[in-house]
Amino acid sequence: MKKTFLFLLLFSACLLLWTCTCPIKEKADENPFFSDYNTPFETPPFDRIKEEHYLPAFKEGIKQQLEKIDAVVNNEEAPTFENTIEAMESSDALLTKVGNVFFNLLSANTNDELQSIAKEISPLLSKHRDDILLNQKLFERVKAVYSQKDKLSLSVEQNKLLEKYYKDFIRGGANLNEENKERLRKINQELSLLSLQFGENVLKETNAFELVIENKEDLAGLPEAVIITAAEAAKERGHEGKWVFTLHKPSMIPFLQYSEKRNFREKIFAAYINRGNNNNELDNKTILSRIAALRVEKANILGHKTHADFVLEENMAKKPENVYRFLDQLWKSALKMAKNEAKDLQEMIYKEGKKFELQPWDWWYYAEKVKKARYDLDEEMLRPYFKLENVRKGAFTVANKLYGIQFVERTDILKYHPDVKVFEVKEADGTHIGIYYTDYFPRASKRGGAWMNSFRKQSRQGGIEMTPVICNVGNFSKPVGDKPALLSFDEVTTLFHEFGHALHGLLSNSTYKKLSGTAVPRDFVELPSQIMENWASEPEVLKMYARHYESDEVIPQELLDKLKKSSHFNQGFATVEYLAASFLDMDWHTLTEPNEVDVLEFENNSLNKIGLIPEIVVRYRSTYFNHIFAGGYSAGYYSYIWAEVLDADAFEAFKETSLFDQKTALAFRKNILEAGGTEDPMTLYIRFRGAEPKVEPLLKRRGLI
C-alpha cells in the first residue's frame, strides 16, 4: 500500500511536471500564422516566425481557401455580389497573411532554406490559383452576378471589384476547353519555377563577383570614402589589407565614376553586364528563352496574338502599337542628345592626351569629368549634404506638408533585420494610419534594386478596418567608418521615389484589398512614386533636408545653382539606356510564335533595329532583366516613362499654385493615393487634373525640347 501510494505520488508529480512543461513547448513550437500575432498593430512577429512555419501555413491557407470556395460553389442560394464576390474576396485571409511575409523576406532577406521553400510552394500556389480560376461552377456563379451588374445598385468600387473578378476568370482560362485548361496549368506551373530560378541566378551571380585590389596605387582617383568602404568589404570577405569592389551599385557606380584604372573599370563593368550570361550553372539564356516561348503559347491559348497584347489589355496603353508609338516619339530626340554627349566625352578623352575610342565602361568616368569641367560639380561635393537619416526626414516633411501626416519611430515593433527602421504613420490629429518599415542597405541576402511592398494591405473586411503595413527596401550607400550613410543624388531620388509608392499603400482608402493601394494598372502605378521625385530636387525642399552631416550647414545656394544648371546633363544617356530596355522588353513580348530563340542574337537584333550606339549598353540586358523575367513588368517596363508623362503634368498643378498647395494636395490624395484601383485610372487622373496629361512637361524636364 505504501509502495502504491509512493508510486501514485511520483506519477502525480510527473503528470504535474508534464502538464506544466508541455504547454510551454507547444507554445514555443506553435505556428504564429495560425493565430493573431498579438503584436502592436498586428505586425509580423519576426522573432517567432521560423522557416519551418511557412510550408504548413501555406498548405493550411490553401486548404482553408478551397473550403470557402467550395462553400460558395455549393451555396444553394442564387448568386449575389455578397455570397459570391465578397465571399471570394475574404477567402484567402491565411494564405495572404503567410504569403506577404514569405515573399517579402524572399526578396529582402533570403537564404537557401527560403529559396528551397519557394521552389516547393510556387507550383502549389500556381495549381491553387488555377484550381480556382478554372472551376467551372464557380465561374458560372461569378458570370451570373456579372450578367446582372446593371441591376444590382452596386457602388463604383463594388462594380470595379466585380469586373476584376470576372476578368480574372476570363484571363485565367475559364472559357477554355479541357485540353487547353490542362495545358495552361502546366505552363503556369513551369513559368512559376523558371521565374524563381531566373531571379535566384541573378542574385548569386551578383554576389559571386569581387574585384580584389592589392596595390594602393590601383585606387587612384577614388574618393576616400569609397576606399574605406572597399577596405571594409575586403575585411568582411576575408581579404584583410586589400580592397574589394562588388556588383552592388553603391560599390560599382563610384568605382566606374572615379577609378583611373581603365582595365579595372572594364573588368567590373563586363562582370555586371554579363550576369546570367557566363555559360555556367547560373546562366539564364535557356531559362529566359523558355519563359518568352511559354508566354507566347499562353497568350495564344487565351486568344491573344502576343504576350504583350494579353498584358496591355489591362493597362492604360491597351495595345503594343501604342507603346511602340510612344517610345518612338521619345527615342529620336534622346538618341540625338546621347550622341552629342558621346562626342563631348570623346573630346575629353583626347584632351587628356589619350587616343582610345570611348567605350561603355568609360562613360561614367568621363561624364563625371565633363560635369566637373562644365559645372564645377561632382557627386562627392553633394554627398556630405545627403545623410540618409536627413533625406528620409525630408521625405517625411514633404508628406507632412502635403497631407498633414506624421511619422513616429517605433522601437517596440519587431524587425526582420537590424538594418530595418520602423515608423508609425499618423494623421495630423494622431489617428493611426499604418506602419512603415525602411530597409536601405545592400547585403548578400537581398536582391538588387529598390521597391515597395506590403506585409498587410489596407482594407475593410466585414466592416473592420485593416490598416496597412508597408515596407520600402533599397540598396543605398552604407555608413563608412565613422561617417554616416551619405547618399548620391541618384540614391536620394530613388528614396523619394519608393516613398511615393509607400504613400500609395499607406493612404489607401478602399473596402477591398484587391483594389487597395498599388493594385492599379502597371503603367499607372508609377505616378505616385515619380511625382515624389519632383519635390526631392526642388530648392525649397532641398534646404529642408540637405544639411552637411558634420556642420549641419544647409546646402549652399552655390551648390543648388550648380545642381539646377546640370539637371539636363547626361539625360541623353539616361533616357537612351532606359528606352532601349523598354524596346527590348516589348520585342521579347511581341513574339508571335512559341519558339525558343537564340537570346544574344535576338537581343542584338532588337538593339541594332533602334540604332543604339555602341558607347551605351542597354540598362538591363536580357539575362539579368529581373523586371520582366522575374518580376511583374513583362511588356510593362515602358511604364516608368509613360507614368513620367503623368507625373510631369501632375506636378505642374503644384507649380501653377505652390509646392504645398493644400487644395491640390487634397485632390491628389483623394483621387490618386486613396482611390487605388477602384476606378479607371484616366478617370481618376482627369478628376484630379481637369484634363488628360500633356507630354510637353516631360520633354521639357528631360531637356528633349
Tell me: pLDDT of 401 over 90: yes
Please check whether residues 47 and 94 belong to one and the same domain. Answer: yes
Parallel, antiparallel or unpaired: strands 406-409 and 211-213: unpaired
> Which of 224, 247, 273 is where one domain is finished?
273
Tell me: pLDDT of 3 over 50: no
Please check whether residues 438 and 559 belong to one and the same domain. Answer: yes
User: Residue 634 domain-assigned?
Assistant: no
pLDDT band at 180 (very low <50, low <70, confident <90, very high): very high
Q: Determine which of 25-29, 277-281, 404-408, 683-687 has the lowest per-residue pLDDT on average.
A: 25-29
| Sequence-ordered strand ranges (E) for 24-145 | none
Residue 673 DSSP label:
I
Which tens digits make up the pLDDT trace of 414-423?
Answer: 999 999 999 9
pLDDT band at 703 (very low <50, low <70, confident <90, very high): confident
Tell me: pLDDT of 288 over 70: yes
* Residue range(s) defining the domain that contains residue 469: 384-565+639-701
Tell me the C-alpha distance between 14 and 11, whole Å.
5
pLDDT of residue 462: 78
pLDDT of residue 700: 85
pLDDT of residue 463: 79
What is the CB neighbour count within 10 angstroms for residue 552? 9
Q: What is the mean pLDDT of residues 290-299?
A: 98
Tell me the C-alpha distance between 43 and 456, whole Å.
8
Phi, psi of 702 (to 5 degrees): -85, 0
What is the residue-averaged pLDDT of the chain? 94
Asked if 233 and 246 touch (Cβ cutoff 8 Å), the reply is yes
CATH number assigned to the domain comprising residue 54:
1.20.1050.40
CA angle 540, 544, 545 (to 5 degrees): 125
Please check whether residues 227 and 319 belong to one and the same domain. Answer: no
Q: What is the mean pLDDT of residues 556-575?
A: 95
User: Residue 615 domain-assigned?
Assistant: yes
Which tens digits make up the pLDDT trace of 592-648?
Answer: 999 999 999 999 999 999 999 999 999 999 999 999 999 999 999 999 999 999 999
Tell me: pLDDT of 11 over 70: no
pLDDT band at 19 (very low <50, low <70, confident <90, very high): very low
Tell me: pLDDT of 397 over 70: yes
Please check whether residues 549 and 578 belong to one and the same domain. Answer: no
Please check whether residues 255 and 303 belong to one and the same domain. Answer: no
pLDDT of residue 15: 36
Tell me the C-alpha distance between 165 and 157, whole Å.
12
User: Residue 111 domain-assigned?
Assistant: yes
> Which of 128, 149, 175 is where one domain is finished?
175
Please check whether residues 52 and 147 belong to one and the same domain. Answer: yes
pLDDT of residue 9: 37
Query: Which residue from 505, 489, 414 is spatially nearest to 453, judged by alpha carbons?
Result: 505
Tell me: pLDDT of 678 over 50: yes
Residues 6+ apart with CB under 8 A from 646: 524, 527, 530, 685, 693
pLDDT band at 1 (very low <50, low <70, confident <90, very high): very low
- H or E segment at 162? helix 156-171
pLDDT of residue 695: 87
Please check whether residues 489 and 400 belong to one and the same domain. Answer: yes
pTM greater than 0.85 (yes/no):
yes
Please check whether residues 150 and 70 belong to one and the same domain. Answer: yes
Query: How many domains does the chain divide into?
Result: 4
Tell me: pLDDT of 689 over 80: yes
Give CA separation, 302 vs 42, 168, 173, 474, 590, in Å. 40, 12, 6, 37, 15
Give CA separation, 418 vs 392, 409, 441, 599, 699, in Å. 18, 15, 11, 40, 42
Please check whether residues 48 and 148 belong to one and the same domain. Answer: yes
> Which of 629, 647, 666 is where one domain is finished?
629
User: Residue 33 domain-assigned?
Assistant: no
pLDDT band at 29 (very low <50, low <70, confident <90, very high): low
CATH number assigned to the domain comprising residue 305:
1.10.1370.10
Asked if 440 and 417 touch (Cβ cutoff 8 Å), the reply is no
Which tens digits make up the pLDDT trace of 184-205?
Answer: 999 999 999 999 999 999 999 9
User: Residue 183 domain-assigned?
Assistant: no
User: Residue 55 domain-assigned?
Assistant: yes
Q: What is the mean pLDDT of residues 327-347?
A: 97
Tell me: pLDDT of 671 over 60: yes
User: Residue 16 domain-assigned?
Assistant: no
> Active-site residue 498, yes or no?
yes
User: Residue 36 domain-assigned?
Assistant: no
Give CA separation, 137 vs 169, 518, 633, in Å. 12, 31, 32
pLDDT band at 5 (very low <50, low <70, confident <90, very high): very low
Tell me the C-alpha distance between 597 and 604, whole Å.
12
Residues 6+ apart with CB under 8 A from 199: 447, 626, 629, 630, 631
pLDDT of residue 461: 78
Please check whether residues 154 and 294 belong to one and the same domain. Answer: no
Given the residues 210, 380, 424, 498, select the one marked as catalytic. Answer: 498
Please check whether residues 539 and 603 belong to one and the same domain. Answer: no
Which tens digits make up the pLDDT trace of 74-90?
Answer: 999 999 999 999 999 99
Please check whether residues 669 and 528 belong to one and the same domain. Answer: yes
